[in-house]
Chain A
Amino acid sequence: MSPRWGRRLGAFVFLGPGVAYLAVLLLVPLALILSYTVFRRGRFGGIVYEFTTENFSRLFDPLYLDVVLASVKLATLTTVFALLLGYPTAYLIARLPRTWKTVALVAIVLPFWTNFIIRVYAWTILLSGPGLINSALGTQLELLYNHGAIVTGLLYSYLPLMVLPLYAAIERLDPQLREASANLGASAFTTFRRVTLPLTLPGVATGCLFVFVPSFGNFVIPEILGGGRTATVGTLIRAEFLKSRDWPFGSTLALAVIVVLIVLLVIQSWVSRRG
């Protein structure tokens, strides 16, 4: 066997299982979703194999555009807050002594060890009318069932996804660059603005992508913390599949989300390459 063939065989043996896994569990379902978008709705959750473009024109119905915009707004707010909170956190962790760094990173990941739904429900105990926050403050604030509650829930759930890539980016930063900047007379703020931030932009882009995408598609948090009063792309897709039995339109909405995701990925990779 020539070395070239050996390498090919090696690639096949090592890549084969992974590629097969992705093909079966990612590409086939994606292809199915794609194919459903051009057929009609079956009365009972099935598909009628008659070609139609109606699902796509429905996407541009102001009703659904409003829902998409509402989701974009919620996800953007969440991402901005996550960045504002996540950057200083990551920065601090990166400057901690080695032992404390590990402790801090474990603390960031720790919530993921508990079931997501339970963590979201826990927020209702904190935020509800007779809940802990109101009792502690002696107030009657309406904290639950509004956009604020949804953003709080999303922020809480996805903040670690912002902190971790930012931490990785800041950690990689050569401290000598900051020292050089300071030696050349730059203030701490200028150093941050002209050295640290531009060099960690790929981390910022990755973190923003990691927070924006799940916030955009989430349906559990708007239902539990939003009291079901806010329709988002996620709640809409869920309703189309489970309540309205409209698989083709649900698939079309899912496809729209995938397209948004691809656009964001392209932006993220562009930022990373420039960084």
Chain B
Amino acid sequence: MSRIRYTRRLPVVVVAAGLALAVAACGGESSTDSAKPAPSAAAQLDAKADLSKQSLTVTVWPGYTPKELADKAKAKLGISKVDITEHDTNETAMTKLTTQGGESIDVAFVSGQYAQALNEQGLLEPIHAELIPNLSNLYPEATQLSYDKGNKFSVPYTWGTTGICYRSDLVKAEPKSWKDILTPPEWADKKVSMMTTERWLALPALKVLRYSVNTDKDEELAKAKELLLAAKPHVIYDDVTFGQKLQSGETVMAEAWDGWCPTTDPKKNIKFVVPSEGSDLWVDTMVIMKSSKNKEAAHALINYILDPEIHSWAATNINYKVPNKAAMDKVEKPEGSLLGISPAELLQGESIIDLGEASAKYTRLSTEVAAK
């Protein structure tokens, strides 16, 4: 779930997107946000369409799908061309998909709350389940995700949770609570890392206070801020290299996405725990853009990815759980590996949903914590 990567492409992205926006503005489209949901009746798709006349452009996080996916899918499905493009973060993906109405993209990989936001803008094609028979491989739980019950506009690709990743050989007591991160014991002072990505920065504090991770109440966020500011002198912030910091012994505990916690480290002393107050459930999904002219091929590709052989790649190679029972059954789950967390356990976590305008409150919260 590469949400944050250092990007040296920012100026290019900004300028390119800016130019695109300027062009769009000249064309009379006043705003990317003004896109209205299209009429609800989805166009009928032709199950027998000739895929050799269709081509696909997919946008995905780097290294998130098998390298040979494009070639294999082309050979297997007879699609004329499959182009894989990349985005570093959900935010860059959203820029790509909203500023041009996503016209150049057929299939996009984004996290659940972003899929929800895209759908609310009317940019997503409903999923035609009859064209994706492999949907039956999914765990029943994977069809009950709060942002999209019944997989109406998105198909989950990977899922997981956020917890505490720690060095079992360097901690004096195994962490159990988010308080271990927010008020670290003296021996862990400044050897604890927290995330800075807005929603995950707030998560430990919101959970300790027993608030929803999706709260938009000012008084709750103010209390969370107090806890985060009290924690600041004792923690460092890292969204990207917390795994390496644990491996080198620079830190002993980290707030971490499970897929990023290096529990497969050969020394076997890195462990992961979901704190007693609970955590979130994150899902990375596949969506089809309404503007795609190759929707049959897009469905065929998603169906192909849901094939247990292909889908199990993510669990085997990047250590992410996939919501595909048939695929997970094929995967070895060595002791200590996070692949053993069951769907039922995962679903106890609260899904992070899109907060719309209220997301600015989390922006301010994270700036306030950083600035103090």
Chain A residues in the interface with B (C-beta under 8 A): 28-29, 32-33, 35-36, 41-50, 63-64, 66-67, 70, 117, 124, 128-130, 142, 145, 220, 227-231, 235-236, 238-247
Contacts and interface: CB of A to CB of B under 8 A. Distances in A.
B366 interface: yes
A154 B6 CA distance: 18
B99 interface: yes
Given A28-B19, A44-B32, A231 B367 contact: yes
B173 interface: no
Given A63-B367, A128-B250, A228-B236, A47 B94 contact: no
Nearest to B370: A231
Contact of A229 (B11, B237, B366, B367): B237
Contact of B357 (A43, A70, A236): A43
B154 interface: no
Contacts of A241: 10, 14
Given A229-B236, A231-B367, A242-B7, A42 B31 contact: yes
B367 A242 contact: no
Given A36-B18, A241-B10, A244-B360, A45 B98 contact: yes
B16 to A, nearest CB: 10
A63 B4 CA distance: 24
Contacts of B18: 29, 32-33, 36
Given A130-B249, A130-B250, A227-B236, A43 B356 contact: yes
Given A48-B33, A229-B370, A242-B4, 13 more contacts: A32-B19, A33-B18, A36-B18, A45-B99, A46-B99, A47-B21, A47-B32, A63-B364, A63-B368, A66-B371, A145-B236, A227-B236, A228-B370
B370 A235 contact: yes
Q: Which 10 A-B pairs have CB atoms at the shortest separation, nearest pair first?
A: A228-B237, A46-B32, A227-B236, A231-B370, A244-B363, A32-B18, A44-B94, A45-B95, A44-B98, A231-B371
Nearest to B3: A243
A247 B151 CA distance: 32
Contacts of B89: 242
Contact of B371 (A41, A70, A245): A70
The binding surface of chain B is classed by DSSP as: helix
B311 interface: no
Contacts of B356: 43
B197 A43 contact: no
Contact of B31 (A48, A130, A142, A231): A48
A166 B359 CA distance: 48
A201 B320 CA distance: 59
A245 B97 CA distance: 14
A37 to B, nearest CB: 12
Contact of A246 (B4, B14, B191, B360): B360
Contact of B232 (A29, A70, A229): A229
Interface in B142-198: 190-191, 196-198
Given A29-B15, A117-B6, A236-B367, A242 B91 contact: yes
Interface in B90-126: 91-92, 94-95, 97-99, 117, 121
A230 B237 CA distance: 10
Contacts of B363: 239-240, 243-244, 246
